[in-house]
């Protein structure tokens, strides 16, 4: 029996374009979900920036990303108007899907309590746990704990107050990532240049393995802490271009080239990352990933299939695994790359993500 086509509002971001031209995992996931729902015949409205690209109906209060207009990250009035726009139109929808990311997004929780139609809330950040009971996020989520929350990994569920309706893994469009059967010779790292993303540790691994590492990612010109970290910990390593190279941010097309030239990707993060889209993107190109055991890494990586998870903070253990990958025969390494792609495609595709959300939407609407 064919499922009913739904009228769905996707409440995305106005801080970054959907999909983002470069860095922006949440906006990329929202784009993939929106387009996937359109493909399935649903009537979707995306609330995002005016320059977003979508086949859904697009509604926006700003022509471009707020941060590009010089709007402070702490500004609450633009997000308020953006969120109010969606809830004011509730009569046009069967359901509103809220994507929580920034602190200013939390006003949507209060609106969700006041409308007649159901909401789904996906959380794209590390949740406050029992040790953070005095934090504003913890108190706000406890206040509105009975809503339909979606975690993006099981490890993310550190807040025990919430009503979790489902865990839905993020999905990517594998058609835009070119698979490389042979890979390359370099190590790689990609992310934002903040201490918890582990660029410094990745360089240390490369030094121990005695291989070149290529760094790709975002250096936020407006973040003084990131700037200081880059200048003190990373820039001195770039003096030897044959050992360590920084290529800046990369777009989706460039990612296939970047990942395709790597022997493996290093992901030595020191924070409890709720998902980790770069792991899936690297695997999509066939590149195995070695990651510290933090956050959702054990849900994304199966040892020996698409990479390895090693004890958090253990640079020597990461270097040892990297050496093992370099020592593989051409045939074994080729199989490793193929299994990396197959594992990611089976578990983290757009199609699987969309199907999971579609199933959840119908379950919630039926229960109501």
Looking at the structure, do residues 195 and 239 belong to the same domain, yes or no? yes
Q: What CATH number is associated with residue 68?
A: 3.40.50.2000
| Whether residue 321 sits in one domain with residue 225 | yes
Residues 106 and 246 in one domain: no
Number of C-beta neighbours around residue 329 at 10 A: 8
Same domain, 185 and 296: yes
Residue 264 is predicted with a pLDDT of: 98
The boundaries of the domain holding residue 31 are 7-171+349-367
pTM across the whole model: 0.93
Same domain for 167 and 312?
no
Neighbours of 294 (CB within 10 A): 21
Q: 237 and 93 in one domain?
A: no
Using CB atoms within 10 A of its CB, is residue 56 exposed (0-12), middle (13-18) or buried (19+)?
A: buried
| Coil, helix or strand at residue 97 | strand
Does residue 21 lie within any of the structural domains? yes
Q: What would the pLDDT profile of 204-260 be if each residue is shown by its tens digit?
A: 999 999 999 999 988 887 788 999 999 999 999 998 777 999 999 998 889 999 999
Does residue 60 form part of some domain? yes
Number of domains within the chain: 2
Query: CA torsion sign, 203 to 205 to 207 to 212?
Result: negative
Asked if residue 1 is part of any domain, the answer here is no
- Conformational region of residue 116, where left means phi above 0, alpha means psi within -120 to 50, and beta covers everything else: alpha
Does one domain contain both 185 and 302? yes
In which order are the strands placed within the sheet that holds 289-292? 244-246, 213-218, 186-192, 262-267, 289-292, 307-310
Q: Would you say residue 306 lies in a domain?
A: yes
- Flag residues of the chain having pLDDT under 50: 1, 368
Residue 2 pLDDT = 61
Give yes or no: residues 187 and 103 share one domain: no
């Amino acid at each position: 029996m064919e499922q009913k086509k739904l009228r769905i509002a996707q409440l995305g971001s106005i801080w970054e374009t959907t999909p983002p031209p470069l860095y922006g995992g949440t906006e990329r996931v929202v784009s993939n979900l929106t387009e996937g729902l359109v493909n399935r015949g649903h009537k979707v409205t995306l609330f995002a920036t005016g320059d977003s690209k979508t086949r859904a109906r697009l509604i926006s209060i700003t022509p471009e990303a707020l941060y590009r207009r010089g709007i402070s990250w702490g500004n609450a009035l633009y997000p308020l108007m953006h969120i109010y726009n969606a809830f004011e139109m509730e009569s046009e929808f069967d359901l509103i899907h809220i994507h929580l990311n920034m602190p200013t997004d939390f006003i949507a929780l209060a609106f969700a309590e006041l409308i007649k139609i159901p909401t789904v809330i996906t959380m794209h950040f590390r949740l406050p746990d029992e040790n953070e009971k005095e934090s504003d996020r913890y108190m706000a989520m406890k206040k509105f704990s009975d809503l339909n929350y979606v975690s993006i990994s099981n490890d993310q569920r550190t807040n025990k107050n919430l009503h979790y309706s489902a865990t839905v893994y993020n999905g990517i469009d594998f058609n835009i990532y070119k698979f490389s059967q042979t890979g390359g010779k370099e190590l790689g790292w990609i992310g934002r240049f903040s201490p918890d993303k582990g660029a410094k540790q990745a360089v240390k691994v490369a030094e121990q393995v005695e291989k070149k590492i290529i760094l790709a990612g975002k250096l936020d010109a407006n973040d003084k802490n990131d700037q200081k970290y880059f200048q003190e910990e990373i820039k001195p390593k770039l003096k030897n271009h044959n050992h360590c190279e920084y290529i800046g941010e990369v777009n989706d097309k460039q990612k296939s080239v970047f990942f395709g030239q790597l022997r493996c990707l290093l992901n030595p993060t020191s924070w409890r990352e709720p998902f980790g889209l770069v792991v899936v993107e690297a695997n999509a190109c066939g590149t195995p990933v070695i990651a510290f055991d933090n956050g959702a890494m054990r849900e994304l990586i199966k040892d020996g299939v698409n990479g390895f998870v090693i004890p958090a903070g253990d640079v020597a253990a990461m270097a040892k695994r990297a050496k093992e990958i370099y020592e593989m025969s051409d045939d074994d390494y080729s199989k490793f790359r193929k299994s990396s792609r197959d594992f990611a495609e089976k578990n983290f595709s757009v199609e699987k993500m969309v199907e999971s959300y579609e199933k959840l939407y119908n379950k919630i609407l039926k229960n109501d």
